[in-house]
Amino acid sequence: MKILLVEDDTEAAKYLVQALDEAGHVTHHAADGETGMAMAEGMDYDVMIIDRMLPRRDGLSIIESLRAQNDNTPVLILSALGEVDDRVSGLRAGGDDYLTKPYAFTELLARIEVLARRANPAEADTKYAVGDLTLDRLARTVDRAGENILLQPREFRLLEYLMRHAGQVVTRTMLLENVWDYHFDPQTNVIDVHMSRLRAKIDRGHDNPLLHTIRGAGYMIRE
């Protein structure tokens, strides 16, 4: 998922961005309300995590403005304000869920995954299969022919994207934008290196390769 985090606590934001990255997500961070609003308006996100008390513009104001613009991106509100009236006002402002600080990361992760599935039924699948290769998004596991394959977070994200588009050509631009979050070509062989590693892990020792290079076009995973 592509996530926007609007959080003014630098250390808390750093921890959360790293944890979400390790969970296979791409996270953009804004440290104040005005910047967060500009980022929310300028790019599409799967989920937004917005702190309630922010400098320059408060979180509820951001959510109300987005809803007024018919932006229905799911929003999880983070706040140290945990009274019933606080939660009610957050939900009435347009928040989809409300989590009180301090929180457990596993709970936050589960909540944003639920919000994303509700908003995008087409992305609700948590398991993908191509031939004898299976990937479980929630358990973060990959198996081929019954044998577990250990992948690094970026490799897992790359394979998930390929399997989500199984049978389709996936271009370098698509991978740069959706796996690496680059909106330009860094003119490096980063994709080739990761593809080579991924191919070695999922195809080595098997007679039928699944990961294919489509010359001049990109890559495809298929039987």
Give, as one character, the DSSP assignment of residue 86: H
- Give the residue among 113, 78, 71, 68 at the shortest CA–CA distance from 98: 78
Query: How high is the pLDDT of residue 49?
Result: 97
* Tens digit of each residue's pLDDT (9 = 90 or more) over 96-130: 999 999 888 989 998 998 898 887 755 556 789 99
Q: From CA 14, how far away is CA 47, in angstroms rounded? A: 18
Give, as one character, the DSSP assignment of residue 170: B
The residue extents of the domains of the chain are 2-122, 127-221
Q: Does the predicted model carry a pTM greater than 0.85? A: no
Domain at 2-122, CATH class: alpha beta
Give the right CATH number for 127-221 from 3.30.360.10, 3.40.50.2300, 1.10.10.10, 1.10.599.10. 1.10.10.10
Q: From CA 17, how far away is CA 115, in angstroms rounded? A: 18
Angle at 50 between CA 63 and CA 43, to 5 degrees: 70
Query: How high is the pLDDT of residue 123?
Result: 56
* Tens digit of each residue's pLDDT (9 = 90 or more) over 139-194: 889 999 999 999 998 899 999 999 988 999 998 888 888 888 776 777 788 899 99
**What backbone torsions phi and psi does residue 156 show, to the nearest 5 degrees?**
-65, -45
Give, as one character, the DSSP assignment of residue 116: H
* Tens digit of each residue's pLDDT (9 = 90 or more) over 41-86: 988 899 999 999 999 999 999 999 999 999 999 999 999 888 999 9
Q: Is pLDDT above 90 for 217? A: no
